[in-house]
Structures are given as structure tokens and as C-alpha cells.
Amino acid sequence: MALASLAVRPAFAAPAASAPSSRVRLGVMGVSHNAVFGEGRGTHLAKTLVTLPGVEVAYVCDVDQTFVGKAVEDLGKKQDKPPQGVKDFRRILDDKSIDALVVATPDHWHTPAAMLACAAGKHVYVEKPCCQNAREGEWLLEAARKYDRHVQHGTQRRTWPGVIEAVDQLRGGAIGRVIEAKAWYFNARKPIGHGKPVDVPATFDWDMWQGPAPRRPYQDNLAPYNWHWFWHWGTGELGNNGVHMLDVARWGLGVDHPIRVASGGGKYRYDDDQQTPDTQNVSLDFDGRKTITWENRSWAAQTPNDPSYDVAFYGESGSLLVRGNGYAIYDPKGKEVSKNTGKGDDAIHLQNFIDAVRGDAKLNAEIAEGVRSATLCHLGNIAYRTGHTVHLDEQGKIVNDAEAENLWGREYQQGWEPKV
């Protein structure tokens, strides 16, 4: 059967029960490794999930069979029985006993896979950013509501106790009226070179990897990681890491969507195929006289002259700095007033998702919040790509800007168009 016809088949298995037994069975989509970072995100999540009480990773899925085999072997050592390895995630959705799908793929797959999972009656844990473009975020939220599914976003700081306490401090007036938040990200990334057309590896299904994205020729510097730096599949450093910091900034300021977005910077360091900026500054202004700025440098690591914290909040009577899972509060003269240090990890965020699937908890990073924060990233990239300030109305829609509106969504491979 052709791939396109598989994509639009009308029905999956009957939805999993709304209140599954205490044992939660999941499938994990995307378990790649790469030479630079080693263990991929999906593999890490799968290994973490099997440490949680009453959780079974029943399937692992990847379009590269080399990665599938390794994941099956590794997880088989950590739970009662090894998971089934599949290349097509829709085999997971067909299994009535599966309660949830974990989506840890390249960005262009996040929303389409999550929407299909919701339609199949599965709950979803979707990695950041939950959508490759802003329109997908609207669709994903609509799908989660239509099918009444729990969809957790992979912005794990929403579950870290120290960050929760920091936001509570801001809400409680610890630094007075909070006006500004600033966030940073620095990384000494290497050039990706100029890709060469080569034969697709025998173990790798390039057609399935592309999935909903319009087809492009295979070249040797895209998978499994460098797709991040191509607009066709990725969202740049802003969507890759900036979403974490912008999520905390938006949360702490208590804002939803901006009224004005500007972005400067460019691709300045290397002569290679990267399309997204390696140096970027984004400014987001909100109603209520509040603002967020984000700075990225992807070609040089953090220096002693760079901020040593993740997000800084400035208020009328002091400042609060978030560092990892801890924070510190300072008075207007810079004297430390109080602080809290702690640990935060993926396990507690995943446990929150599992508890919600069991019906015992509310999601800490519910998809509505994930969509709002991911959309900040998309707006920053839209402002960068158009080269001008983007204005939005009170509903968060772009105002009188056809060029910017054209980047709100994307085109899809025929047969893979997302449908709610």
C-alpha cells in the first residue's frame, strides 16, 4: 500500500480507555543517536519512563532500523520484557492496549503525529516545540480538545519545584510589579558543512522521515540532528532551546501573546548549509507594559562575561534570577535577599504526565501553555525572516502583514495534510 494512502486511512483502533489500569503502556516515537550528542531525546525519555512505577514502554519506533534495534536491546534490560520495535508509528496507534504516545521526532513531525495519536484515542507527550509552525499549534490544541486527550509539552521546567516556587514568588510580589524578563542561550556548535547528495542508507526510510514535509533530496548532513538548522524541518535555536527559556519568562510575567515582535541577528559564523540564524536577538512586547528579550549565540560557548543564569526577571522592587532548578532574589541595589537551590529532572515531569493519564493529576505543561510558548518562538522567527517588526491584535493574530502571515503555516506533502 502506498505511503500516502496509509496516511489518510479513515480509522485507527478503538480509543484506549479513558481511565486505564494502574499500568500505563506507551510507545516512544523517535529513538535516534548521533555522533555529537550520543543518546537521542526519545531514547532518554524511554529509559526514564521505564524507571517509573507501573510504566511499560511497549513499543519503540524510528525510521532508522539501526536505532530501533539498539533501543529494543537497551530497554529490554530495564523492564520485564523488551519493547516491540517498529518503523511506522501508526502500528503503535493500532494497538488498543496502548495508553499514550511519546513524540520525540524532528520538529516537522511533532504536531502531525500528536494529532493522529489523539484521533486514535491516545494521550500524548510531545517534545518541544510542540509545533513546527504557529498554525500547527492551533490544530494540535483543537485536536486535544476534540478527542479529550491529555497532551503534555516537553517544557519540563513547569514541573521543577524550584522554578515553580520562583514563579510563586513573582506572583506573590517578591520583586513588586514584574516588568521585564530576559533569557539567553550559548553553545559552541560546529559547522555542518555543505551537504552532498548521497544514496540513502539501507536501514533508513527517508520517505517516512520526511512524512508531512514536502519531499526534498537526501543529503549527508541532515539526519539525525542537523535538520534543526533548515527551515523546511526545524525551527532553529529559538525553537530548539529558546522555547524552554521563553516558556519560563512568559510564565513568570503572566502573559500569553505579544502585541509586537522584533528580531535581529543572522547567520554570521560559518560558511555552511545552515539557514537559521546562529546569532539572534528577539524582543517581545506585551499588553500591561511588559516585555521579554531573548539572546542566542550558537557558535561560542558561555563566557565569564555572559549571564550565568537562565532567565532574569526585573520588577519595581528588585530582581529574581532563575538558575536551573533554583533561583535567587535581589533587592534594587543587587543585595541577595533569599535563594533556593534544588534539582529538577525529566522523571518528575514524565511522572506528572503518567499521573494525568491515570486520572490522578493535572498536567503541569498542558498543551495550551505549550502552544503559547512555542508560538513566541515562531513569531520571533517570522520577525527575523521578514526583516521587520510584526504586530498582533488582542487575539494574538498578525495584523495587516501578508508576508508574515504567509509564514504562520506551511505546505504539506500530499496525503499527509493534518486534519482535526
What pLDDT does 36 receive?
57
Torsion of CA 237, 239, 241, 246, to 10 degrees: 120
Does the structure show a pLDDT above 50 at 24? yes
Residue 24: inside a domain, yes or no? yes
Query: In this structure, are 178 and 302 located in the same domain?
Result: yes
- Cell of residue 297, nine digits: 549565540
Do 170 and 111 share a structural domain? Answer: no
Q: Which tops the pLDDT comparison, 360 or 94?
A: 94
Kindly tell me the burial class for residue 386, based on how many C-beta atoms sit within 10 Å of its own C-beta (0-12, 13-18, 19 or more).
middle
* Position 32 pLDDT exceeds 60: yes
Q: How confident is the model at residue 343 (pLDDT cuts 50, 70, 90)?
A: confident
Please indicate, yes or no, if residue 378 is contained in any of the structural domains.
yes
Q: What are phi and psi of 364, to 5 degrees?
A: -80, -30
User: What's the average model confidence in pLDDT over 395-399?
Assistant: 97
Whether 217 has a pLDDT exceeding 50, the answer reads yes
Domain count, the chain: 2
Does one domain contain both 75 and 175?
Answer: no
Q: 279 pLDDT exceeds 50?
A: yes
> What CA–CA distance (Å, rounded) separates 22 from 179?
44
Confidence of residue 35 (pLDDT cuts 50, 70, 90): low
> Are residue 100 and residue 173 in the same domain, yes or no?
no
Q: What is the pLDDT of residues 299-317, one digit of tens each?
A: 999 999 999 999 999 999 9
- In tens, the pLDDT along 8-20 reads 333 333 334 444 4
Q: Average pLDDT for residues 250-262, to the nearest whole number?
A: 98
DSSP string, 208-231: HHHTTSPP---BTTSTTTGGGGST
Residue 255, in any domain of the structure? yes
Q: What is the mean pLDDT of the chain?
A: 94
C-alpha cell at 367: 498543551
For residue 136, the enclosing domain spans: 12-149
| Chain centroid, CA 326 distance in Å | 22
How many Cβ atoms sit within 10 Å of the Cβ of residue 293? 17
367 closest CA partner among 107, 150, 72, 76: 150
**Among all chains, which residue has been given the C-alpha cell 496502548?**
98
Given 120, 149, 178, which residue is the final one in a domain? 149
- The predicted model gives 285-298 an average pLDDT of 98
Domain-embedded: residue 213:
no
Is 221 a domain residue?
no
| CATH number for the domain that contains residue 19 | 3.40.50.720
Q: Which residues pair with 56 in a beta bridge?
A: 25
Confidence at residue 21, expressed as pLDDT on a 0 to 100 scale: 57
137 and 170, same domain (yes or no): no
Position 74 in a domain: yes
174 and 83 share a domain? no
Do 292 and 337 have their domain in common? yes
Would you say residue 201 lies in a domain?
no
Asked whether residue 129 falls in the same domain as residue 267, the answer is: no
Q: How confident is the model at residue 342 (pLDDT cuts 50, 70, 90)?
A: confident
Same domain, 26 and 85: yes
Answer whether residue 327 shows pLDDT above 80.
yes
pLDDT digits (tens, 9 = 90+) for 168-213: 999 999 999 999 999 999 999 999 999 999 999 999 999 999 999 9
One-letter amino acid at 74 equals: D
In this structure, are residues 410 and 111 in contact, taking their beta carbons and an 8 Å threshold?
Answer: no
Q: What pLDDT does residue 11 have?
A: 32
**The CATH number of the domain where 312 resides is what?**
3.30.360.10
Q: Are residues 139 and 253 in the same domain?
A: no
4 confidence band (pLDDT: 50, 70, 90): very low
What pTM was estimated for this model as a whole? 0.94
Residue 364, CB half-sphere, CA atoms under 13 Å: how many?
21
Find, among 219, 241, 280, 239, the residue nearest to 134 by Cα. 239
pLDDT at 356 over 90: yes
Residues 117 and 178 in one domain: no
Cα-based distances in Å from 364 to 22, 151, 251, 361: 20, 10, 12, 9
Question: What average pLDDT score do residues 247-262 get?
Answer: 98
Amino acid present at 375: T
Q: How far apart are CA 154 and CA 350, in angstroms?
A: 9
For residue 374, pLDDT over 90 is answered with yes
Question: Average of pLDDT values for 37-66?
Answer: 94
Q: In this predicted model, what pLDDT tens digit does every residue of 148-157 receive, in sequence order?
A: 999 999 999 9
Query: Both 164 and 236 in a single domain?
Result: yes
Query: Does residue 111 belong to any structural domain of this protein?
Result: yes
